Amino acid sequence: MSHQLTIALATGAALVALTALASVVYAQRANAPAGVGGRSPTPAAARHAVDSLLADFAVPGAPGASVVVVRDGRVLLERAYGLADVDGRVRATPRTDYRLASLTKEFTATAVMLLADEGRLAFDDPVSRWLPTLPAYAHGVTIRHLLTHTSGLWDYEDFVPDSQTYQVKDRDALQLIQRADSLYFRPGTAYRYSNTGYALLALVVEAASGKSFARFLRERVFIPAGMRSTVAFEEGVSTVPRRAYGHAREGGRWVRADQSNTSAVLGDGGIYTSVDEMVKWSRALFGHRLVRAATQQLAWTSATLANGQLGGYGFGWFVDHDARGLRLWHNGETRGFTNGIVVYPQQRLMVVLLTNRLGGAPWDIAQRIAELYLP
């Protein structure tokens, strides 16, 4: 996710969420397909509505999208549009693997929660316990602060010039923030979205588990959840089975734009997966197969700041409420990919929309799709 976008989210997430929600509610009341208002739409009505929302992704020769709607572990709708690889003319399918960008954060948080459940770390541990080279100015930062974006740490991307050609990794993020001399604010007193926190969390997982972050995710998160095609991608080390390539619009045509100089950082955005695999993820989440229910509830609860106000972020999720109750969501944007996820835990409903193009607002489309299935 770009630094500009993270700052925008940090300062305006609540307003954007409320505005988007209001527009969605009124639009769906006015144009709801048959079945909305207490039960799911018919399959034909749902397909028609979703096809209309995603018509731009079905344009011939354009990069595509894959979407899934899951309720209580059952797939209500699964669709794909456009191309996973424009140059190769490879069509997107529900099994196409997209780079998740910041949707990765829910998996990074889960890895931390697993270790907490096992007593191998605690959420209120100082990060310096696990990362002794953390700058002295950050010694008051805890793991909980990193999870909830309340650490006040500078974003490592601030110190990566656009002209840099080599890719930085999670370990480099720890070195890059040495260039700062203070925090933005005292830990726990404010919210500021920062990819640094999740890069450092990947390093904490490695220190506490004795395994590489990618290996820990595969052995302790992906395989137990049944997500055997999901990977924290490392160039030259791992492969993406059915890889979508990112694209951007240049000069009136779609060109490949797949990697940036921060794409090798795993903790904040390095996972590739498919909407088909995300069905398995929903079952693992709602079935509490990976972490205890009480621990998962912490992830779905907004941080409370020192002044008593809510920060709006839990462990890997934006957290708010609407007329239907608790809502979790996240957006993800990196070079060539833009994604969205919306979850209503009380209704056990998840909508995931993954795209391999830069731009748009798939998180808004995912919300509109969720509205089709909510009473």
Domains of the chain, CATH where assigned: 3-372 (3.40.710.10)
Q: Which helix (H) or strand (E) holds 216?
A: helix 213-216
Q: What is the 3-state composition of the chain as percent helix, strand, coil, each rounded to the nearest 5? A: 40, 20, 40
Residue positions counted in the chain: 375
State the helix-helix crossing angle for 105-117 and 195-209, rounded to 10 degrees. Answer: 40
Identify the pLDDT of residue 363. 96
Are residues 350 and 341 in contact, defined by beta-carbon separation less than 8 angstroms?
yes
- Indicate if the pLDDT at residue 352 is higher than 80: yes
How confident is the model over 250-276, as pLDDT tens digits? 998 999 998 887 889 999 999 999 999
Q: Report the pLDDT averaged over residues 340-359.
A: 97
Residue 177: the pLDDT is 97
Higher pLDDT, 321 or 10: 321
Q: Lowest-confidence range among 125-139, 150-164, 227-241?
A: 150-164
Distance CA 337, CA 278 (A): 17
Contacts of 250 (CB under 8 A, 6+ apart): 257
Return the pLDDT at 39.
Answer: 64
Angle CA 205–208–211, to nearest 5:
65
* pLDDT at site 11: 39
What pLDDT shows up at residue 13?
Answer: 40
The percentage of residues in the chain with a pLDDT greater than 90, rounded to a whole number, is 85
CA–CA separation, 355 vs 247, rounded Å?
10
**What is the arithmetic mean of pLDDT over 99-120?**
98
Angle (CA) 200 201 205, round 5° = 120
What average pLDDT does this structure show over 190-214? 98
Q: Is 98's pLDDT higher than 80?
A: yes
For the chain, list the strands marked E by DSSP: 65-71, 74-81, 83-85, 90-91, 98-99, 231-232, 247-250, 253-256, 271-273, 318-322, 325-334, 337-344, 349-355
DSSP state letter for 151: S
Q: Which residues contact 44 (CB under 8 A, 6 or more apart)?
A: none
Interatomic CA distance for residues 274 and 78, integer angstroms: 11
199: which 2 tokens? 């890069």
Average pLDDT value for the chain: 90
Distance CA 307, CA 189 (A): 7
Instruction: Classify residue 155 by its DSSP letter.
Output: P
Question: Alpha carbon of 5 to those of 52, 298, 311, 334: distances in Å?
Answer: 27, 26, 17, 10
The alpha carbon torsion through 95, 97, 103, 106 (nearest 10 deg) reads 70
Flag the least confident range among 9-18, 45-54, 64-73, 362-371: 9-18
Residues above pLDDT 70, as percent of the chain: 90
Closest CA to 362 of 372, 352, 373: 352
pLDDT tens sequence across 275-298: 999 999 999 999 999 999 999 999
Predicted pLDDT at 40:
75
* Residue 41, pLDDT score: 86
pLDDT digits (tens, 9 = 90+) for 23-59: 333 333 333 343 344 467 899 999 999 999 999 999 9
